[in-house]
Amino acid sequence: MIRPVLRYGEQVLHQAAAPITEITPDIQQLIDDMVQTMYAAPGIGLAATQVGVPLRIFVADVSGGHNPGDLVTFINPEVVEVDGTQYEDEGCLSVPGFNATMARPARAVVKGLARNGREQVIEGTGLLARCLQHEMDHLDGTLFVDRLRGLQKDLIVRRIRKLSRSGKW
């Protein structure tokens, strides 16, 4: 089932998600729904908080569905290691129509549980590193806009407020 993606300003997006204590059939259904929602959006990553569920789960596929082997699911993920720096354009399904160039580590190592409950460790570079860190931010209640500073952030937040007041957000 494709779920609605919440937008910047919704409370659950700005709060840390809770850890999962048991991988139940409901959690498996949530993961299936998140994958369908991510591909339908279309996007390359989606955190459970973005569909209104404050749990530490995210899905990611930097191929956008073109390579089924690229799909990863993380339950209770943690960043183990980061290094380097990359500057690239970044956007978000919860902030549609907006993007900004921002710095992220060029390499990220994330560990957590796969959907089958087994521990996994994934090392990402380039776009995958950016995606992993972006989704980890969501689980901590941070959106990419929150990482921006100065005029760049002010312009985006002002436009969102204006769209919100006019009922277009």
CA distances for 59 relative to 38, 47, 78, 84, 99, angstroms: 8, 6, 14, 24, 20
What is the C-alpha to C-alpha distance for residues 90 and 48, in angstroms, rounded to an integer? Answer: 19
User: Are the C-beta atoms of 75 and 114 separated by less than 8 Å?
Assistant: yes
Place of tokens 């900004």: 100
123 among known catalytic residues: no
Token reading at 25: 């059939």
For residue 122, give the amino acid letter.
I
Catalytic residue among 22, 78, 88, 135: 135
| Catalytic residue positions, numbered | 135
